[in-house]
Amino acid sequence: MSRRRVVVTGMGVVAPCGIGLDAYWQGLLSEPEPGLRRIEGFDPAPYFDNPKEARRSDRFSQFALGAAAMALEQAGELRANPARVGVNIATGVGGLTTLEEQILVNYQKDSRRVSPFLVPMMMSNAASAAVSMKYGFQGPCETTVTACAASSHSIGSAMRYIRWGMVDVMIAGGAESAMTPTALAGFGNMTALTRSGISRPFDAERDGFAMAEAAGVLVLEEYEHAVGRGATIYGEILGAGNNADAYHITAPSPGGAGAVACMELALADAGITKADVRHINAHGTSTPLNDAAEAEAVAKLFDAPGPIVTSTKGVTGHALGAAGAIEAVAVLLSMQHRLIPPTACTSALDPELAPIDLVLGEPRAWEPGISLSNSFGFGGHNGSLVIAPPA
């Protein structure tokens, strides 16, 4: 079976700490205000042909189209057969905002007042469909829905489509906007959300995640195709791991066993050893169980002191199905800027956790090298991406 190289030629991001790559990078180096991580100042109008289309799209789809437009602009003219360009925009819950709004319309007004656009706005595949239709991409058009691992899984799947020769280009990532009153109540009542409003990954005082909305999109391209059109290459997806804890609907498996196995699968898929890994962008949600399991998994797999570890969720909060995508962008930007952002709001590594080399306080300079980006979701879904700087 063909094993073609897969490179990144475009990136786009819509995040609470910044819209666009420059603003996002500066945001990753800042200290956030406490509270929910909502995106302020996003105007969907430039990404739609007319205002009516924007109103007929859920906010998560609007974010996806914005991030995709940025990534495609950076990538330049693809010069690809549209039938060999695919899309996979992941999400955790899809158009929950629209669904909740229209449920209220149904019960407070009348069923005849429910929008005829409810179904195409709320369906989880709406963002992928919107991107493919806007740009005329006729290759595989799919949506990965695996909770907080979704967009890491979407990037891994897209990589394999290119690696196996099924397509030449994939537009992959994730989008989420699920901070409705009912969703916040649900996450809050299960004690997943921070009560303090502060995301403190791996800190002794961590008490839950700060919920966020976001979108991140990568243009993935077969290496020779990218070189042939003179594209700038920002990094390479070497491999991906994907497995299940098969343990509990919300809690990670004891000792991070599933996470260890997932990272091992990713390393094997990439054809590298654990000694080759320089950096890990951790899932690091700021929840007691997740951070403990991930720290233990990293310490078990890697020889001390292990790779440099950071969690960007101290700044971004947890964007559920979009988390892996914006974190993959963070890894690529860390390579570009030769700096790893600190784990914001974390003062010290919890002494009860397994020892990891966590970046604290200030960004850390590094010689860019092979990195892991971890995503672990409710349901026991695990995903790890292996990302390398451009060769």
SS (H, E, C) the chain: CCCCCEEEEEEEEEECCEECHHHHHHHHCCCCCCCCECCCCCCCHHHCCCHHHHHCCCHHHHHHHHHHHHHHHHHCCCCCCHHHEEEEEECCCCCHHHHHHHHHHHHHCCHHHCCCCHHHHHCCCHHHHHHHHHHCCCCCEECCCCHHHHHHHHHHHHHHHHHCCCCCEEEEEEEECCCCHHHHHHHHHCCCECCCCCCCCCCCCCCCECEECEEEEEEEEEHHHHHHCCCCCCEEEEEEEEEECCCCCCCCCHHHHHHHHHHHHHHHHHCCCHHHCCEEECCCCCCHHHHHHHHHHHHHHCCCCCCEEECCHHHHCECHHHHHHHHHHHHHHHHHHCEECCCCCCCCCCCCCCCCEECCCCCEECCCCCEEEEEEECCCEEEEEEEECCC
262 counts as catalytic? no
381 token code pair? 């879904």
| Residues 72 and 80: beta-carbon distance below 8 Å | no
Residue type, 71: A
Single out the catalytic residue among 148, 225, 345, 381: 148
Nearest-angstrom CA–CA distance, 220 and 235: 10
Single out the catalytic residue among 225, 279, 283, 381: 283
SS (H, E, C) 189-255: HCCCECCCCCCCCCCCCCCCECEECEEEEEEEEEHHHHHHCCCCCCEEEEEEEEEECCCCCCCCCHH
Neighbours of 1 (CB within 10 A): 5
283 counts as catalytic? yes
Single out the catalytic residue among 279, 318, 345, 381: 318
148 counts as catalytic? yes
Residue positions annotated with a catalytic role: 148, 283, 318
